[in-house]
């Protein structure tokens, strides 16, 4: 699996109208289920008189994704499910989409609701800013003093971030490293140290 995945870089909002009903689409980052539900709660406070607050989210990326959705009183399958389908097809992770509806007095029917909610979700995701999320790993290194400067240089070249250095009989480094860089760095370290230094994964 690639170490990179697309996630929201911020929030976006659009509004569509369908037979006098207003559909306000808001999308934003949701690194956790709690944060997804937090955006829903925030919008309930922002639009307290709305008829419905339909939402869908995808927390995580790749093979490890948690999905959730709500029709919020709309007929089952006409609101949350089409929004979730758009979210799943977007290629985004850690994202929540909330569709706020103000009923305009004209019933849209099952097909009309599916189309309106799906179209609003698609429209807001089209304008949502995106950024690459990099999967990182926490790793440790134990090395002799004579290799300290060289190893620090290699870590920098691999875009690793040293979080802690402990100096004892040897030096122990704790760092954050992109998962797609771990294998190459481990190989270089072993070549440099004749197999004495290699990446260790805590826990």
Q: Which residue has the tokens 């971030």?
A: 161
Query: Which of 91, 85, 109, 99 shows the shortest CA–CA distance to 39?
Result: 99
Identify the burial level of 59 via C-beta atoms within 10 angstroms of its C-beta, where 0-12 means exposed, 13-18 middle and 19 or more buried: buried
**Rounded CA gap, 110 and 75, in Å?**
8
Under 8 Å CB-to-CB from 110, ≥6 apart: which residues? 75, 77, 78
pTM, two decimal places: 0.67
**Topology of the domain comprising 4-133:** Ribosomal Protein S5; domain 2 (3.30.230)
**Rounded CA gap, 145 and 171, in Å?**
6
Beta-strand runs (E) in 63-200: 64-70, 95-102, 130-134, 136-143, 161-167, 171-178
Beta-strand runs (E) in 103-185: 130-134, 136-143, 161-167, 171-178
Radius of gyration in angstroms for the set of CA atoms belonging to the chain, rounded to a whole number: 24
Query: What average pLDDT does the chain have?
Result: 88
pLDDT, tens only, 1-35: 344 478 888 899 999 998 888 999 999 999 899 99
**Rounded CA gap, 33 and 39, in Å?**
10
**Rounded CA gap, 27 and 16, in Å?**
14
CATH 3.30.1370.10 location in the chain? 135-193
Q: How far is CA 174 from CA 18, 90, 136, 155, in A?
A: 55, 36, 13, 11
The number of C-alpha atoms within 13 Å of 179 and in the hemisphere containing its C-beta is 10
CATH 3.30.230.30 location in the chain? 4-133
Would you state the pLDDT for residue 14?
Answer: 93
Selected from 2.70.50.60, 3.40.50.300, 3.30.1370.10, 1.10.8.60, the CATH number assigned to the domain covering 135-193 reads 3.30.1370.10
pLDDT, tens only, 84-141: 999 998 888 899 999 999 998 878 888 999 999 999 999 999 999 988 777 778 888 9
Q: How far is CA 54 from CA 50, 125, 131, 174, in A?
A: 11, 15, 25, 44
Would you state the pLDDT for residue 65?
Answer: 84
- If DSSP codes are grouped into helix, strand and coil, which group holds residue 74? coil
């Amino acid at each position: 699996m690639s170490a990179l995945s697309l996630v929201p870089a911020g929030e976006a909002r659009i509004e569509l109208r369908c037979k006098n009903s207003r559909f306000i689409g808001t999308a934003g980052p949701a690194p956790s289920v709690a944060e997804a539900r937090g955006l829903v709660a925030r919008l309930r406070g922002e639009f307290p008189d709305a008829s419905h607050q339909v939402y869908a989210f995808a927390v995580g990326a790749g093979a490890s994704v948690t999905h959730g959705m709500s029709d919020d009183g709309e007929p089952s399958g006409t609101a949350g499910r089409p929004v979730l389908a758009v979210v799943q097809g977007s290629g985004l992770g850690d994202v929540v989409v909330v569709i706020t509806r103000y009923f305009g007095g004209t019933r849209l029917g099952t097909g009309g609701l599916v189309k309106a909610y799906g179209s609003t979700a698609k429209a807001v995701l089209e304008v949502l800013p995106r950024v690459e999320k990099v999967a990182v790993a926490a790793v440790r290194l134990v090395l002799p003093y004579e290799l300290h400067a060289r190893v620090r240089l290699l870590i920098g070249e691999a875009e690793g971030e040293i979080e802690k250095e402990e100096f004892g009989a040897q030096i122990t480094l704790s760092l954050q490293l992109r998962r797609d860089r771990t294998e190459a760095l481990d190989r270089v370290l072993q070549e440099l140290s004749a197999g004495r230094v290699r990446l260790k994964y805590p826990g």
